[in-house]
Structures are given as C-alpha cells and as structure tokens.
Amino acid sequence: MQNTRTEAPGGHPSSYLLPLLQLADSALPTGAFSHSFGLETFLERGLVHDEKTFAVWLGQFIHTQLTYSDGLAIRLALEAGSMDELRQLDAMLTAQALPRQVREAGVTMGARMLHIASVILDSSEIEQYREDVGRGKCSGHPALAFALAGRSLQVPLPELVGTYLFSTATSLTQNAIRGIPIGQDAGQRVLRQVHPDIAAATERIAGLDRGDFGATAPGLEIAQMRHERQRARMFMS
C-alpha cells in the first residue's frame, strides 16, 4: 500500500496541514453534533453537570475508550501493509463497539467521513475502502477514513493521532455546551485543559500493541447502553 502526497494547483506538493485541518474541523458534516457517546447518560444522572465535571469526564473518555479504539486503530492503519489488514481493523472496530448506538454512530459517521475525504483527496486506498463499505465487506469507521487520509497526505503519526483526538474532544465539548449547558468560554477552558491528556494519549498509543485494542471503562459502556432507553434525549448516542 503506497502513500501518495496530494498535489496543489500547479503541480507542487502541498502541505498536509490545510487538508488535515479541514478534515478535523468541528463543522465537518459527519453528524458528530448529534452524538454524545454516553455523555448524555451522565448528564441525566447528574454526574456531569458543569464545566469541572465535564472536564473530568472528557479526560477519562480520551484516556480510555478513545485511546484504545479509534486512536490505536489509526496507528495500526498507518502501519498496515495491505487492504486485508485494513478490513480486519474495520471488523475489530465494529466488534469492540458493544453499545449498539455507538456501533451505529461509527458506521454513519464513517460513511460521511469517507465521502468527504474522497472529495478532498485523490486516494486509491480511500476509494477502495469506500467500495468495500458499499459492497458490505466493511462497516466503515471515521477513524479508518481519517487514517487513510493521513496516509495519503503523509502526516506523521503523532500529528495525525493528536489531531483526531482533539477533533473528537472538540465535537464532544460543543455538545456539552448545548447539553449541560455551559458557555462557550467554559468550553474553551475545557479544551485547553485536555491538551496534556491528548499529548499523553498520543504518546501512549505509539507504545501499545494489538492486544491492547478494545480496552475500555465498563462504566462508560454501560452508560452508552443505558442511553438507548433514556426517557428524554437530545443526542442519538
């Protein structure tokens, strides 16, 4: 599987920065604004109710589920030597997502990320993955679509993983601003507070092995499962 750098107008190699920022933008229309990934259950139970408690929840989410699923999957995708390995990663991401809503969120957001990535980049790997999803060979997942975009752009692993983690944290913070609610300034303070968490998670991901994949906090998974039967909901997961 060969990496190819996208070409800027005029034929000169382009920097990966701008397309990477575009794919990581919280305004990217992947549907992330409609998912809380279990946060809403914590809101309903009163365990997350202000800036401080949300910051704690977000840090834990980064260090548990996000690190050992999406984050590690991105690293393994960069290291993959064939499409068969990527298909296996896709199956692993689907299998480890035990809560139904989280699993379905990955599929729907993955389809959107794949489509947008194919619009932005000319990548045979992204097109092959889209084709596999369309034929039912793969489920589709935003982390793998993002990883393939990073391969195409030749983004170094720390930058690619860190950007993805921060993008996810930003989406969840925007949802917390609406759902708790907290103000925009509070949201920015939380995002600044989790910078060290993202740096630590990025460093940890570089040293994990395949056997670490799928580790998560049981309490978080239970909250994600309970959300499906919550009496009133703002979010789809």
Q: What is the pLDDT of residues 151-173, one digit of tens each?
A: 999 999 999 999 999 999 999 99
> What is the model's pTM?
0.92
At 183, is the pLDDT very low, low, confident or very high (cuts 50, 70, 90)? Answer: very high
At 14, is the pLDDT very low, low, confident or very high (cuts 50, 70, 90)? Answer: low
Is 55 inside a domain boundary? Answer: yes
What separation in angstroms does the CA of 9 have from each of 2, 6, 120, 186, 200? 22, 10, 13, 40, 37
Task: Name the nearest CA neighbour of 144 among 210, 152, 136.
Answer: 152
Is 1 inside a domain boundary? Answer: no
At 27, is the pLDDT very low, low, confident or very high (cuts 50, 70, 90)? Answer: confident
39 CB burial (10 A radius; 0-12, 13-18, 19+): buried
Cα separation, 138 vs 193, in Å, equals: 36
Is 16 inside a domain boundary? Answer: no
Is 5 inside a domain boundary? Answer: no
Cα four-point dihedral sign 199, 112, 224, 73: negative
- Report how many domains make up the chain: 1
Is 57 inside a domain boundary? Answer: yes
Is 17 inside a domain boundary? Answer: no
Is 129 inside a domain boundary? Answer: yes
- In this predicted structure, the answer to whether residue 229 has a pLDDT above a threshold of 90 is no
Is 130 inside a domain boundary? Answer: yes
* Segments forming the whole domain that contains residue 80: 32-227
Q: What is the CATH number of the domain that holds 100?
A: 1.10.4190.10
- In this predicted structure, the answer to whether residue 211 has a pLDDT above a threshold of 70 is yes
pLDDT of residue 9: 36
